[in-house]
C-alpha cells in the first residue's frame, strides 16, 4: 500500500505528480558530516533532510540530515536531552500527537516526503513500526496484543493463529509463552513484555522498525536477548535504534549517528566512528568524558 492517500490530496494535485526523489542526491551537499562513500555504497531506505523541530519555543533539533540505510541497523547516540528520541519520533510522525510540535525540513521514505500533503498516517505507521522505551503491552492477553494490529487493518481472521506463532517466534518469545497465550501480558517479565512489544510491532508487517531506548528499563540478561533479536531483524527490516548506551550501539549497529544539543555532530559506520572519531566532542563522548 502506498503511503500517499488520494483522498487527502488537494484537488489540483494528482497522485502521479508525487514523484519519488533520488535520495542519494540529497546528500551531495552534506559531505562534511555524511561520508560520501557510505552514500554511494549502500542503498538508502529513508533520508532526513534539514529537519528542525520545536516544542513551542524550545528548539530541540536543528537542521538534521541523515541517511538510513536499507537492512542495516542505525544507532542514534548522544547525551540526554540531545533530541535523539524526538528525532526518532519524527520518522513515523508520532510527534503529531504532541500538539505544540512544529517541524521544518523533510523526511523521505522511499523518496516520498512523509511531511508532504496527502500522506496517510495509518499507512505510514504501518510501514514504520515502533518499539518504546518502557514496555507498553496493552492490558489484554498475550494473544490479543499480537492480533490487535492485524485486526484493525482488517486481516482475514482465519490467518490469525498462524500469525501469532510466526511473530512470537520472530521475537524469540514463542518458547516461553506458547502454552499461556490467553494470560494477561502483564504476567510476563519486563524483558518478555518488551519482546512481546517487538512481536506486536512486527505484526503489522512494517519495513522499518524504530527502537526508542528499548533496553533502558531492562536487566542485562533481558538486554542481551533484545540486542540479539535486533541484529537478527536487520535481515528483513531496516532498523533505527536510539540508545544512551554506547556499548549497545557498538554491539548492535552498523552505522552510528552522534547527536549533541539538537545537532548531528558525526555520522559514520559504527566501526569507524568508535575507532577514529573525527570530531573532538564525539571522542570525548564515546570515551565517557561527558554525557
Partner 1 sequence: MSEQQQTSDDLASDEETIIAIGKQKISFQHVVLLLAASLSVIIVVLVFIFTVLEGYRIIPEYGFIDFLFGHEWDSPHEQYGILPMIVGTILVVLIAAVIAIPVGTMAAMYLSEIAPEIVRKIMKPIIEILASIPSIIYGFIGWRTLVLFLQNQLGFKSGRTAFTAGVVLSIMILPTIITIADDSLKAVPRAYREGSFALGATNWQTIRKVVLPASSSGLTAAYILGFGRAIGETMAVYFLAGGGKNLQWNIFRGVDTLTSLILKQLPEASIGSVEYHAIFGAACVLFLITFCVNLIGDLLIRRFSKKFRGASK
* Contact residues for partner 1, defined by CB under 8 A: 92, 94, 97, 99, 121-126, 129-130, 132, 134, 136-140, 148-149, 152-153, 186, 197, 200-201, 203-204
d(CA 130, CA 191): 16
The region that residue 282 occupies, defined by phi over 0 for left and psi between -120 and 50 for alpha, beta otherwise, is alpha
**Residues paired with 104 in a beta bridge:** 52
Grid coordinates given for 105 = 525540513
Q: How far is the CB of 270 from partner 1 (least distance, A)?
A: 26
How far is it, in rounded angstroms, from Cα 258 to Cα 27?
17
Paired with 66 in beta bridges are 48
Rounded least distance, CB 93 to partner 1, Å: 9
Q: Which of 199, 214, 207 lies closest to 147 in space, CA to CA?
A: 199
The minimum distance between CB 1 and partner 1, in angstroms, equals 10
Alpha helices in the chain (DSSP H): 36-41, 84-91, 121-127, 142-152, 160-170, 174-177, 190-202, 220-233, 246-252, 270-275, 280-286
Nearer to partner 1, 39 or 128 (CB): 128
Map grid coordinates 552514500 to a residue: 39
Q: Quick one: 133 or 245, whose CB is closer to partner 1?
A: 133
Minimum CB separation from partner 1 for residue 268, in Å?
Answer: 29
Nearer to partner 1, 241 or 264 (CB): 241
Host H or E run for residue 55: strand 44-55
In angstroms, give the least distance from the CB of 208 to partner 1.
12
Find the shortest distance in angstroms from Cβ 138 to partner 1.
6
Identity of the residue, 126 or 225, whose beta carbon is nearer to partner 1 in the bound complex: 126
Cell numbers standing for residue 229: 533479536
Min dist CB 29 to partner 1, Å, is 33
- Identify which of residues 24 and 134 has a Cβ nearer to partner 1 in the complex: 134
> Based on CB atoms, which residue is closest to partner 1, 8 or 122?
122
Nearer to partner 1, 194 or 256 (CB): 194
Per DSSP bridges, beta strands 73-77 and 263-269 are unpaired
Q: Are 266 and 257 in contact (CB under 8 A)?
A: yes
Amino acid at each position: 500500500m502506498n503511503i500517499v492517500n488520494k483522498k487527502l490530496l488537494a484537488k489540483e494535485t494528482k497522485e502521479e505528480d508525487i514523484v519519488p526523489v533520488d535520495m542519494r542526491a540529497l546528500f551531495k551537499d552534506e559531505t562534511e558530516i555524511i561520508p560520501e562513500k557510505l552514500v554511494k555504497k549502500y542503498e538508502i531506505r529513508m533520508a532526513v533532510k534539514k529537519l528542525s523541530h520545536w516544542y513551542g519555543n524550545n528548539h530541540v533539533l536543528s537542521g538534521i540530515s541523515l541517511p538510513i540505510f536499507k537492512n542495516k541497523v542505525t544507532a542514534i547516540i548522544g547525551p540526554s536531552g540531545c533530541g535523539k528520541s524526538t528525532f526518532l519520533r519524527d520518522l513515523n510522525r508520532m510527534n503529531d500527537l504532541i500538539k505544540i510540535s512544529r517541524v521544518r525540513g523533510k523526511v523521505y521514505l522511499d523518496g516520498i516526503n512523509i511531511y508532504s500533503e496527502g500522506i496517510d498516517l495509518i499507512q505510514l505507521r504501518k510501514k514504520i513500526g515502533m518499539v518504546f522505551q518502557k514496555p507498553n503491552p496493552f492490558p489484554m492477553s498475550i494473544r490479543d496484543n499480537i492480533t490487535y494490529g492485524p485486526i484493525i487493518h482488517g486481516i482475514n481472521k482465519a490467518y490469525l493463529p498462524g500469525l501469532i506463532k510466526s511473530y512470537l517466534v520472530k521475537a524469540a518469545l514463542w518458547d516461553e509463552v506458547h502454552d499461556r497465550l490467553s494470560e494477561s501480558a502483564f504476567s510476563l517479565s519486563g524483558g518478555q513484555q518488551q519482546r512481546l512489544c517487538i512481536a506486536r510491532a512486527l505484526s503489522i508487517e512494517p519495513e522499518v522498525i524504530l527502537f526508542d531506548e528499548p533496553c533502558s528499563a531492562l536487566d542485562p540478561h533481558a538486554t542481551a536477548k533484545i540486542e540479539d533479536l535486533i541484529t537478527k531483524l536487520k535481515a528483513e527490516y531496516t532498523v533505527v535504534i536510539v540508545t544512551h548506551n554506547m556499548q549497545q550501539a557498538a554491539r548492535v549497529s552498523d552505522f552510528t549517528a552522534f547527536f549533541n544539543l539538537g545537532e548531528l555532530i558525526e555520522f559514520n559506520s559504527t566501526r569507524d566512528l568508535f575507532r577514529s572519531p573525527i570530531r573532538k566532542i564525539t571522542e570525548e563522548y564515546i570515551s565517557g568524558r561527558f554525557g
